[in-house]
Amino acid sequence: MATAPFAGLNLPVRGREAPPAPYDVVCFCGTRATGTRLSRHQVVTCSKCGASRFILPLSPLPDVSFDRTGGDAVGRRRWRWLAVAILIGLAATGLAIFLTRARELVVPLIETPPPSEEQLQRHVQDASAALADGGFLRAERGFEAALEIQRRLGNQPADEQRRLTRLLRQSSLLADLLAESPAAIVRHSIGMTDADWQEIFRQRYAGKAIVLDDTVSRDAAGRYQYGFRIVVLNNEARIDLAQLRVLRDLPLFQPHRILLGMRLANMRREPSGGWTILPDPDSGVLITDPEMLAGLSIPVDAELRDVLRRQQAWLDPMQWPK
């Protein structure tokens, strides 16, 4: 003879004459599923999206009504065990939903095709085409994606990785070029308090980039000389090139024309008059590839091509002249 469910709890069971208990649940897609609960749980499939829905079984307990005149310990236990059954059902439902959603998230990841050499070349070609149109931001995204695919592929030539890294750094800097000249920025600061100007500089100019095309040299004391001058109201603004780490190991004991990008970190007024423009020390980027100049107003002639080749050799010590 079968033992009635919950017999050890001294709880009455649902009678055979009890009416059937329907269910009515709504899927994630909004489709309703209806039917009759069975003595065991059910897993039904949505007719629209195919998702699985967990249906609680028919409760073996009878319908419970609270009797205020006879609310003894047995009645309280009945309510307590009913609450436990509901919590167990909710936990099971949550687990079923979690497993369904987890499968939906994991399957696309498994089905994602692995990176390929064709994908790598497509990103490089798209980035190069963007450079030809002066689209430095699109080029930055393309070279970044190409480097990620190259990393995932592994065993790629080191020189090609260096080339893509170099192109990414250049396009990233040129994507943030200032719309104003350094002289216009200096004029903007005139008449402001230091506190007001520092706040405006942080909001508008910090992290933005400029490009210097000039002849640069470094003396024995580490001071840099260059010909570019920024003069506003008879006072001069100087770019402190000594801040840039990229220049410190370059052979600038003799004057060399360089094409150099940098990001601004600050600009301060000097007590003696004039201004000092401070670049971010790690932001210096030597321009090395002619395609980077398509979006700039710098004519590419034989002299400039020699400059780019020399700067590329500077970045690769293996190519330095012995």
Are residues 88 and 34 part of one domain?
yes
Give mean pLDDT, residues 16-20: 65
Are residues 210 and 267 part of one domain?
yes
Question: Based on the structure, what is the number of domains in the chain?
Answer: 3
Give domain status of residue 322, yes or no: no
Beta-carbon-side half-sphere exposure of residue 39 (alpha carbons within 13 Å):
8
Is 0.95 surpassed by the pTM of this model? no
Give mean pLDDT, residues 84-98: 79
Are residues 223 and 279 part of one domain?
yes
Give mean pLDDT, residues 284-288: 96
> Do residues 210 and 178 touch, judged by C-beta distance below 8 A?
yes
Give mean pLDDT, residues 132-152: 93
Task: Decide which of 143, 174, 205 is a domain's last residue.
Answer: 174
Average the pLDDT over each of 21-25, 115-119, 286-290 and give the range with the smallest value.
Answer: 21-25
Give domain status of residue 243, yes or no: yes
Q: Name the residue type at position 267.
A: M
Indicate whether 279 pLDDT > 90.
yes
Q: What are phi and psi of 165, to 5 degrees?
A: -65, -40
Give domain status of residue 297, yes or no: no
- Which pLDDT score, from 0 to 100, does residue 14 have? 57
Indicate whether 322 pLDDT > 50.
no
What is the band of 318 on the pLDDT scale with cuts at 50, 70, 90?
very low
Are residues 201 and 156 part of one domain?
no
Are residues 168 and 262 part of one domain?
no
As given in the structure block, the two tokens for residue 205 are 């100019």
Instruction: List C-alpha distances in Å: 183 to 216, 268, 283.
Output: 20, 14, 21
Average the pLDDT over each of 16-20, 86-90, 165-169 and give the range with the smallest value.
Answer: 16-20
Give domain status of residue 255, yes or no: yes
Beta-carbon-side half-sphere exposure of residue 310 (alpha carbons within 13 Å):
14
Give domain status of residue 304, yes or no: no
Q: Which residue has the higher pLDDT, 69 or 296?
A: 296
Computed over every residue of the chain, the mean pLDDT equals 84
Indicate whether 4 pLDDT > 70.
no
* pLDDT tens, position by position, 208-260: 999 999 999 999 999 999 999 999 989 999 999 999 999 999 999 999 999 99
As given in the structure block, the two tokens for residue 320 are 């330095």
Are residues 192 and 273 part of one domain?
yes
Are residues 262 and 207 part of one domain?
yes
Are residues 129 and 190 part of one domain?
no
- Which pLDDT score, from 0 to 100, does residue 321 have? 44
Structural domain that includes position 132: 117-174
Give domain status of residue 3, yes or no: no
Are residues 216 and 241 part of one domain?
yes
Give mean pLDDT, residues 140-157: 91
C-alpha 87/C-alpha 85 separation (Å) is 5
Indicate whether 66 pLDDT > 50.
no
Give domain status of residue 295, yes or no: no
What is the band of 137 on the pLDDT scale with cuts at 50, 70, 90?
very high
Are residues 133 and 202 part of one domain?
no
Pairing of strands 275-279, 235-239: parallel
300-182-131 Cα angle (round to 5): 35
Give domain status of residue 193, yes or no: yes
